[in-house]
Amino acid sequence: MKQLIIAFALLTFGFNSQAQTWSADVSHSNVVFTTSHMIVSDVDGSFKKFEATMASSKADFSDAKIKMDIVANSINTDNEKRDAHLKSPDFFEVDKYESISFESTSVKSLGNGKLSISGKLSMHGVTKNVTFVATYKVGTNIGNQKTIAGFKINGKLNRKDYEIGTSTPVAVVGDEVIFKINLEMVKG
């Protein structure tokens, strides 16, 4: 029995020591979204401040542990008046809910550079289980020779599921928010 415990401890330590850490190069990453306005047009926006980290020991990232935090107050739609309204209690209430966070609970390889990423998304005081599909590519930064991986995550969510802008009718701002996250992650 003692040998089994020692073997398990060595396997666990061995797995953990092989896990590589990655962090987002935010200057080459972005978090953007689109929603409809008055049913006839779309408005694009982004969050300018965020960070993301990942730990993984597998080349296909199927064992990855991913965390991302977005500063809610960094919302930007290229219109100061609209941005102020989005930051207000009518929508994101950024003075009370400062961040939007995601933490993965499982990552599964779908093959051909695709992943299914499940986790908990917390926004505006509401946490929900979500699953997104991501594509990725791995390469080398030719400037500093560091290993990099690019992740493209596309998805959609309903803003009212997170109690954002619940008094604003869908005829004014669409319930569905389409988002696209591009992360350039740097190993080490």
- Going residue by residue through the chain, which has 188 residues, state the pLDDT in tens, using 9 for 90 and above: 444 344 444 344 444 447 899 999 999 999 999 999 999 999 999 999 999 999 999 999 999 999 999 999 999 999 999 999 999 999 999 999 999 999 999 999 999 999 999 999 999 999 999 999 999 999 999 999 999 999 999 999 999 999 999 999 999 999 999 999 999 999 99
Rounded Cα gap, residues 102 and 68, in angstroms = 5
Q: What is the pLDDT of residue 1?
A: 46
- Residue 125 burial (10 A CB sphere; 0-12, 13-18, 19+): exposed
- Residue 97 contacts residue 125 (beta carbons within 8 Å): yes
Q: What is the pLDDT of residue 100?
A: 98
Q: Which of 123, 51, 120 is nearest to 86 (CA)?
A: 123
Q: What is the pTM assigned to this prediction?
A: 0.87
Rounded Cα gap, residues 112 and 182, in angstroms = 18
Q: What is the pLDDT of residue 67?
A: 98
Q: What is the pLDDT of residue 3?
A: 46
Q: Which position has the token pair 């020991």? A: 57
What is the dihedral sign for C-alpha 53, 54, 55, 59? negative
CA angle 79, 27, 56 (to 5 degrees): 125
Q: What is the pLDDT of residue 2?
A: 45
Q: What is the pLDDT of residue 19?
A: 86
